[in-house]
Amino acid sequence: MTAVSNPAGFTPDETYTPDGEYRFRNSREAVRRLPFPFPDDEYMYSMNLEPHVPAGAGALRAAFDVDEHYVSECAHRDQMLQEMPGVHYLALPHMMEAQWDLLELIFESYNRDFPEHFTLTRNGNEWRWQNRLLGIDDSFTFGDPDTLPMDPMEYATRQAQGEFVVLEERDNTLVIGAGMTTQRADYSLQFNLGMNFAEFHGPVPKLDKMGILDRALKFLLRMKPGHPVRRVNWSLTVHPRLETSVETLPDWAPDRAEVTAGNAGDMVYLRIELQPLHRLPRSNAIVFPVRTYLVSLAELVEHAPDWAKRVHRALASLDPELADYKGFHRYHGAAVAWLAQHDDGAPLAAGYPWYPEGIQPG
Amino acid sequence: MLITGIKSRPVYDELTPMATGASHVAAAQGSGGEPLVRLLREMDPDQLSATTVLYSVESFTGKNHLADLQDFAVRELVVFPTNADAVSGLDALLATAKMGTRLYLSGSEGFIGTSMQVATSYGMNRDEVLREHAGSFVRRVWCAHCSHYSENVSRRIFRCPGCARHLIVRDHYSGRLAAFQGVKADGEVPGELPENEELDT
């Protein structure tokens, strides 16, 4: 895969690794189109599922969002897969039908939502896929894995932003059957593969007590093809590092101890996860994509001052148990202290920004 | 019975003869011999004569139930010096097993988990297998950083023999790897270890 030199509007030479010196930044437009995940001053853990229909002109306009980081992110995925084979992409043997389902979903969505960059031409099962951002023009037979250079899921998700976990329905629960997870937030795909819904949510505190898990599972099991739903989630991370898996924790966890109230603006990134879930038509599996956006606290202050104030308030009132689970217990206070300088306490709108009455960037 | 707040840990059964079985394989390790003796007592003579018993005398707590197991008129009793040998023996036995075989597992979580990996590789379903935990609460732990498996881990924090890191054992269990997850305990500040404790649940 060789990236086209410099497609208009894209930043193809960004890095998400210490070796690449974290050469990453967001344009003003990229910040103001984010699926900002804090509808209220106080953050409450919830499933907050809503129909995944196009909303606004930002990250929720498309089924699978593509932004200025697309080319760099695909290059990062390739680098991660090469560095640690068998760790970031895994699929159980019986998941092939779901893999083709996912390829179709991603390619059709990109073709529909970004025709200037992607073209899918279908002639029966003979498909042609053109990806002008990565310089790809391939023909293959849908359903015949021998006509692709790798698994259909790996092929499609190497050309997609965000990570993808495919859940198969079995005995009234959802079981992890495959994943492309080069952007994991502190979990292990090798370890979680084959777990059911309750098992892989095991480490999340308080969830079960609140009855959220059971309700969420029942809701997901009722999902129908063509009616995707979405939720947003978030965490904090140090540096614009996408790959923070359990496996590499010794490499990235020490960064957490470097954060101070003085450097938090540049060191601490809000990690926003947009999760648009789809039921897949042939396999009846559900795909759980996690589209991750990174934005530094300083970028928020500069380009979206009202969102920065909201993050300050949500973090200041956060349950310590959640801060611990999300992994930023050690620098939680530093982030709040840094953000406090940029919050005048003015009242802010409630609701997600993709709704007209919701909180806008400011 | 092992009942904890760990959502991903297997829910264990009580061994009792499965009436639908045409042939029975009962594998146990150490303290797991006790539930096995109870199971064999509940079997009728026909079931006993259709039962192969595999028993490993390796035990973390030193319990040995071999003498009691020898009292039963089973099809075959095979004794192994180590748990790994017993799991290999189970693998060889299931390779030739026919439809209608029922499997009973008893012992440490590590022994049950690795035996389950073998059973799963032969396509045995959960309704063809009963598992009963017995003995100590020691855990089998997978190191997330070097993929080394440590048996019989009894403390929250231990040193990984594979990569020499201090690992903290998370309360998260993978059936596929048959192990709990171990991650670097002093990941954020080297040398700053959380308080250690006995893994007694």
Q: Domain with B33 in it: what CATH number?
A: 3.40.50.80
What single-letter amino acid sits at B75?
A: R
| Domain ranges, residue B97 | 23-133
Whole-number pLDDT of residue A209? 61
Q: Indicate whether B68 belongs to any domain.
A: yes
Residue of A33, A184, A230, A231 marked active site? A231
Q: Indicate whether B195 belongs to any domain.
A: no
Q: Is A185 helix (H, G, I), strand (E, B) or coil?
A: strand
- Based on the fold, state whether residues B129 and B143 are members of the same structural domain: no
Whole-number pLDDT of residue A298? 98
Whole-number pLDDT of residue A2? 43
- Based on the fold, state whether residues B127 and B148 are members of the same structural domain: no
Domain limit, last residue, from B133, B158, B192: B133
Whole-number pLDDT of residue B181? 95
Q: Indicate whether B197 belongs to any domain.
A: no
CB contact under 8 A, A203 and B171: yes
List chain A residues with CB under 8 Å of B142: 191
- Based on the fold, state whether residues B83 and B102 are members of the same structural domain: yes
List chain A residues with CB under 8 Å of B189: 254, 257
- Based on the fold, state whether residues B156 and B171 are members of the same structural domain: yes
Q: Indicate whether B16 belongs to any domain.
A: no
Q: Indicate whether B106 belongs to any domain.
A: yes
- Based on the fold, state whether residues B149 and B76 are members of the same structural domain: no
Q: Which of A193, A195, A256 sits opposite B8 (nearest CB)?
A: A195
If one counts the domains in chain B, the total is 2
- Based on the fold, state whether residues B82 and B175 are members of the same structural domain: no
List chain B residues with CB under 8 Å of A330: 188
CB contact under 8 A, A246 and B183: yes
- Based on the fold, state whether residues B95 and B178 are members of the same structural domain: no
Whole-number pLDDT of residue A1? 42
Domain limit, last residue, from B133, B150, B172: B133
Q: Indicate whether B12 belongs to any domain.
A: no
Using 70 as the pLDDT threshold, list the residues of chain A that sit under it. 1-7, 205-210
Give the relative orientation of helices A305-316 and A332-340 as an angle to the nearest 10 degrees. Answer: 140
User: Among candidates A307, A195, A210, which has minimal Cα distance to B176?
Assistant: A195
- Per the annotation, the verdict on A231 as an active-site residue is yes
Domain limit, last residue, from B116, B133, B150: B133
- Based on the fold, state whether residues B36 and B84 are members of the same structural domain: yes
Asked whether the predicted pLDDT for residue B62 surpasses 90, the reply is no
Taking the CA atoms of residue B113, residue B50, residue B21 and residue B101 in that order, the dihedral angle to the nearest 10 degrees is 50
Whole-number pLDDT of residue A45? 78
- Based on the fold, state whether residues B95 and B165 are members of the same structural domain: no
Size of interface A-B (CB pairs under 8 A): 63
Q: Indicate whether B49 belongs to any domain.
A: yes
Would you put residue A86 in left (φ > 0), alpha (ψ -120 to 50) or beta? left
CB contact under 8 A, B190 and A195: no
CB contact under 8 A, B172 and A191: yes
How many degrees, rounded to 5, is the angle at CA A11 between CA A5 and CA A14?
Answer: 100
Whole-number pLDDT of residue A263? 98
- Based on the fold, state whether residues B172 and B82 are members of the same structural domain: no
With 0-12 / 13-18 / 19 or more C-beta atoms within 10 angstroms meaning exposed / middle / buried, residue A200 is buried
List chain B residues with CB under 8 Å of A190: 177
Q: Which of B6, B174, B187 sits opposite A249 (nearest CB)?
A: B187
User: Among candidates A176, A166, A160, which has minimal Cα distance to A282?
Assistant: A166
What single-letter amino acid sits at A253?
A: A
Paired residues of B174 in beta bridges:
B179
User: Chain B: nearest CA to A175, how far in angstroms?
Assistant: 12
Residue pair A11/A66 in contact (Cβ under 8 Å)? The answer is: no
| CA–CA separation, A144 and A126 (whole Å) | 10
Whole-number pLDDT of residue A172? 92
Report the pLDDT averaged over residues B120-133. 91
Q: Indicate whether B11 belongs to any domain.
A: no
- Based on the fold, state whether residues B145 and B121 are members of the same structural domain: no
Asked whether the predicted pLDDT for residue B1 surpasses 70, the reply is no
User: Chain B: nearest CA to A121, how far in angstroms?
Assistant: 39
- Based on the fold, state whether residues B125 and B155 are members of the same structural domain: no
| CA–CA separation, A275 and A48 (whole Å) | 11
